[in-house]
Structure 1
Amino acid sequence: MIDLLPEFLLTEPRRLIALGRFLLRSGAFILLVGSIGHAATTASAAAMSIGKQAAVSPTLAQLYPALPTWWVPESILGCLPAIILLIIGLSMASLGKRLKNAYF
């Protein structure tokens, strides 16, 4: 079944373009939320340092205990899967466009 996946995507380049755009947008969304989370933790740590409390910056789980923040990257290492999604999505979309222009 998995061996039919390349044939399914390559016979209709619009599918490949759509999948590439989805992966590209997903990776960009994850990085955007991660940067917002980084700004929130940095601002919280700055506010705590002004108040002469401990300089330990809180995590997103400590700032927002009611929200599921397990998927938000908080470090460079955590951003790597989102960056890989961006690269794969960009390459799939460009391959689909090239196939569409060349054969269809």
Structure 2
Amino acid sequence: MHWLRSIIRRAPRRYLVLGKTSLLVGAILIVGAVFARGGLVALNTERAEAKLPALRTLAEAYPQYPTWIVPEGPLGFAISAVLVLIGTGLTVMAEAAIKEQRWRGKV
């Protein structure tokens, strides 16, 4: 962990931006998946009333859209959660490095 902190100390603002970007991307993926799942449930409710078989994936429901971006399974959610955790960790470490540099008078 010490090696990561020493890398971040060299350019803390760069890693702050990288951390916030990673956090934002992971959060958007998770929220997008929740809304997509809600839309799929609503669509399957209508299909059940029409006595049609239920759709399992977003790709079946919306073939014209790039649904590969949206995490649907446990692996996709795990990757999104890892992005959020990495982003949070980088952001916290970069902010600490920036505070340390300000305290020392380097920034």
Interval of TM-score (by shorter of Structure 1 and Structure 2): 0.7 to 0.9
Unaligned runs of 5+ in 1: 1-5
2:87 matches 1:89: yes
2:27 matches 1:25: no
RMSD: 2.0
Match of 1:53 in 2: 52
Q: Any conservation in 2 of the 1:10–1:16 contact (CA below 8 Å)?
A: no
TM-score w.r.t. the length of structure 2 is 0.80
C-alpha separation between the residues in 2 aligned to 1:99 and 1:7? Answer: 9
2:42 matches 1:43: yes
Amino acid at match of 2:52: Q
Amino acid at match of 1:87: L
Match of 2:63 in 1: 65
**1:33 deviation in Å?**
1.3
Amino acid at match of 1:52: K
Q: Name the count of aligned residue pairs.
A: 99
Change (3 A) 1:8 1:91: closer
- Which consecutive aligned stretches of 4+ in structure 1 deviate over 3 angstroms post-superposition? 6-9
Say which SS state the counterpart of residue 68 (structure 2) adopts: coil
Amino acid at match of 1:18: V
**1:103 deviation in Å?**
2.5
C-alpha separation between the residues in 2 aligned to 1:48 and 1:64? Answer: 14
Percent identity over the alignment? 27
Q: Any conservation in 2 of the 1:44–1:58 contact (CA below 8 Å)?
A: no
